Amino acid sequence: MTKRADPSDLDRRLARLAEATAELAPSGDDDALYARLAAQPSPPAADLELRLAELGGATRALAPSASLADAVVGKLERSRPAAPSTIDGVSRRGPWALAFAAAIAAASLGLWLQTEEDLGDALVAGVDSMEVGE
C-alpha cells in the first residue's frame, strides 16, 4: 500500500512550484524555469513514484491546456537533434577508407608490374623461338 502524503505538505510543494514559475510567461522561454529547477535539490529516486502519484491525484481535476501542450510539443521538436548527414559518416570513416584505398592501389600496382614482367618474358620467349626457327 502506498503512503499518502500530508495535504498541507502537498500544498506547500505546489505553492513553492507556483512561486518558482510565477515570473515565467508562456512565451517559450524556459531558461529561467530550468535555472530555478536546477537550483532546487532533486528528490531521491525512491520517493519519485510516490511524488508522481501524489501530484497526479492533486492535479486530476485540472483541465488540460492546449497552449501548454503545443508549447511542450514545440519545445520537443526544436530540441530534437538533427539527423546525421552523410558528411558525418565520411569524416569518421575517411582515414580508414583512405588507408584501404592506398593498400588496394599498391596491390594493383604490384599486380600490374608482375603481369608486365610476365608478358615481357612471354614475348621474348616467342621472339627467341622465331629466331631459332629461321
Tell me the per-residue pLDDT of 47-81, one tens digit each, with 9 for 90 and over: 777 888 888 888 777 777 788 788 888 887 777 77
- What is the predicted pLDDT for the residue at 130? 62
How confident is the prediction for the chain on average, in pLDDT?
76
Contact 71, 28 (CB under 8 A): yes
**What band does 104 get if pLDDT is binned at 50, 70 and 90?**
very high
120 has pLDDT over 70: yes
Closest CA to 20 of 37, 3, 5: 37
106 has pLDDT over 90: yes
* pTM of the complete model: 0.29
The larger pLDDT score, comparing residue 3 to residue 109, is at 109
Q: In the chain, what are the domain boundaries?
A: 7-79, 88-134
Q: What are the b/e assignments for 79-112, b being 16+ CB within 10 Å?
A: eeeeeeeeeeeeeeeeeeeeeeeeeeeeeeeeee
**What band does 27 get if pLDDT is binned at 50, 70 and 90?**
low
Question: Can you tell me whether residue 81 is helix, strand or coil?
Answer: coil
Closest CA to 4 of 45, 53, 46, 48: 53
128 has pLDDT over 70: no
Ranges 1-10, 46-55, 108-117, most confident: 108-117
